[in-house]
Amino acid sequence: MALEHAARAHEMETSTGLDNRKLFMWLFLASDCLFFGSLIATYLLYRGRDQALGMPGPHPHEIFDIPYTSVSSFVLLMSSLTMVLALAAIQRGDVRGLRIWLLATATLGMTFLGGQAYEFTTFVHEGLTPSTNLFGSSFFVLTGFHGAHVAVGVFILLSIFTMASMGRIQQKDSLTVEIAGLYWHFVDIVWILIFTLVYLLP
């Protein structure tokens, strides 16, 4: 069995010694960097043009609730810590610890999504929709796509949690958790950029 497992592991490696699944995730994240980079660039390009062109509001400084979004951001950032703890748990063979920290990470992610949904609802009530002005369209597209990435991440985490609960994730499968962690940390890093450039930039 050990030799068979080693043979399968060797088949999954590239010529550089990097696991194919891990390489694929890095390539996916690299392409996603370009995707989010274009969305952020578009937002920054249109930011402030509404007022210059006399388009209807509301505008960023009129509706952003920085303290609220800061708390929501803190929640998402804390999920990176719980993700690290989940990976550390499975690497030492602690499946129960893995389940606990995965569930904590997914819960924090869902809390962030709930906060984002509340924020979107508030903005709509205040008159900002994707069709209101350039700011509205670029803001909702950027943050909406990020929210979709968080939702996908939560689904992945809950899937691994379910597999672990069924005994299908063991210490030898820690790479699966590591790859999920790469995706989750990427989502968190992207949010740091969005929060800084969208909410904090004067």
> Would you state the pLDDT for residue 6?
43
Residue with tokens 């597209």: 141
Mean of pLDDT values over 10-20: 64
Instruction: Indicate the pLDDT class of residue 201, thresholds 50, 70 and 90.
Output: confident
Q: Is residue 71 part of a domain?
A: yes
Q: Is residue 1 part of a domain?
A: no
> Would you state the pLDDT for residue 148?
98
Alpha-carbon span 1 to 28, nearest angstrom = 32
Q: Is residue 6 part of a domain?
A: no
Pick from 35, 109, 36, 65: nearest CA to 199: 65
Q: Is residue 16 part of a domain?
A: no
> Would you state the pLDDT for residue 1?
44
What per-residue string of b and e applies to 135-151 under the rule 16 or more CB within 10 Å gives b?
bbbbbbebbeebbebbe
Q: Which DSSP state fits 47?
A: T
Q: Which two tokens stand for residue 194?
A: 């969005």
Q: What is the mean pLDDT of the chain?
A: 90
Helix-strand-coil percent breakdown of the chain, rounded to 5?
A: 80, 0, 20
Burial bucket for residue 185 (CB in 10 Å: 0-12, 13-18, 19+): middle
Residue with tokens 């689904």: 155
Instruction: Indicate the pLDDT class of residue 51, thresholds 50, 70 and 90.
Output: low
Q: Is residue 13 part of a domain?
A: no
Task: Assign residue 60 the CATH number of its domain.
Answer: 1.20.120.80
Q: Is residue 15 part of a domain?
A: no
Domain span including residue 29: 25-200
- The predicted-structure confidence for 141-176, as pLDDT tens digits, reads as follows 999 999 999 999 999 999 999 999 999 999 999 999
Q: Is residue 138 part of a domain?
A: yes
Q: Is residue 43 part of a domain?
A: yes
